[in-house]
Amino acid sequence: MNAETKYTIALETLGCKVNQAESEILANQIISAGHRVVAFDSPADAYLINTCTVTHVADRKGRQLLSQARRTNPAGITVGLGCGAKALALQADMVISNSQKHQAVSLITQALRNRPPVPASQHAGITKRTRGFVKVQDGCNHWCSYCIVPLVRGAERSVPSDEVVEEVIRRVQDGCREVVITGPQLGTYSDRAAGDLAGLVKLILKRTSIERLRLSSIEPHVFNDRLLELWPNNRICQHLHIPLQSGSDSLLSTMGRDYTTGDYFALIKKIRNKVPMAAITTDVICGFPGETDAEHTETESCIASLEFAKVHVFTFSDRPGTKAYLMGNKISPSVRRQRRDRLMRIAKLTATTWWRKMVGQTVEVLFEQKNGTGQWSGLTGTYARVSVENKNASDLTNEIRLVKLIEVEADGLFGILVDDSK
């Protein structure tokens, strides 16, 4: 094969929004090199898995995707990238670390040169995103006792604000109507020109035409008043993800978290006083080493009283290289599962309570795709999933439409398009 041979490359992303942002950059690099990005379940010359290793479940998903790729095209090259790539070293044809991601396309192309490409007629296209993810910060200096991120992503560093603005402009040019800015420690963003995260947001709003700007996870101990001052601007989504992790002060201390439950409650109260309709989502961990029944109950109480719009419940997973891995008094898997199930039931109730408050409102929804029942599905600025029937049968992909919310469904809300309701 000559140097001009073009290949089809499938890309699947596991884990956090940082990984999603990096995958979007990688997809653009693949396309710029003249290759084609295809759906992961279609025949391809190479299968790239941007991995996550935060939990053992994420590692298992990576292995499952490798098996899927081999079933789809046994002749294709399998590639593990990123945080959990080492866990796939024995199964994948190639492993590319976080520090090598910028070389991924050239490394994969070199590996493919002696293989015939998959005929174009055999592969399917990939759906274009309506929302874009832009990584503005990487790494973490904090070293929470359960977390592997500082080990696999290194020390904190911020992307220069000019580069961030240029990347957002590219997303707009690609058709994205919403951009999510993300980073493992987003709240610590620092740049000479922009200053802090609030300054970066102001620059993006000033220098780009993005219609929706969403912030990803911000740690409670670095959330400041400058961020709250941004919210009169209706281009910023009224949605904040602020990790709690535990409702027990003793466990927060053991986890290495820099706040108490009192600090957390005070922050949520301040946010809701400033942005009353803000949807607040969070993360919690159950089954941390040494967690007592009483400490777990404290977490349940916190979730129930704070009325989160969504709670991501994580069962503690031992990660070699973390402080928690060396701790004694591990909670049995069966107790971890029981506690997870209890937290998930409470989380479902709080989410439903939040959604019910939205019933009767008319809101803007950015539509993404048809769901399994043939209804169109999209997200509000408050990160609520909304489904509608489209009487006109027109394509709503990437359209922002007004929707009147009329009832709560199992996984979100159902509404009617305002201009179709007459």
**pLDDT score of 124 more than 60:** no
pLDDT at 200 over 80: yes
pLDDT over 70 at 181, yes or no: yes
> What mean pLDDT is predicted for residues 155-176?
95
Helix, strand, coil tally for the chain in percent (to 5): 40, 25, 40
Is pLDDT at 302 greater than 50 in this prediction?
yes
User: Are 200 and 189 contacting, i.e. CB atoms less than 8 angstroms apart?
Assistant: yes
What pLDDT score does 281 carry?
A: 97
Any bridge partners for residue 414, and if so which?
387, 407
CA-nearest of 336, 237, 319, 330 to 284 is: 336
**pLDDT at res. 420:** 60
Task: Quote the pLDDT of residue 1.
Answer: 40
Query: Helix, strand, or coil here: 73?
Result: coil
Separation CA 245–CA 253 (nearest Å): 11
Most confident of 66-70, 125-129, 253-257: 253-257
Q: How many residues are present in the chain? A: 422
Q: pTM for the complete prediction? A: 0.86
Average pLDDT over residues 366-380: 88
Residue 384 has a pLDDT of 95
Nearest residue to 361 (alpha-carbon basis) of 381, 375, 376: 381
Segment holding 6, helix H or strand E? none
% of the chain with per-residue pLDDT over 90: 69
Mean pLDDT, residues 318-339: 94
Cβ burial of 192 (10 Å; 0-12, 13-18, 19+) is exposed
Q: What is the rounded distance in angstroms from the CA atom of residue 411 to the CA atom of residue 400?
A: 20
CB atoms within 10 A of CB 35: 22
Helix axes 333-358, 293-306, angle to 10 degrees: 10
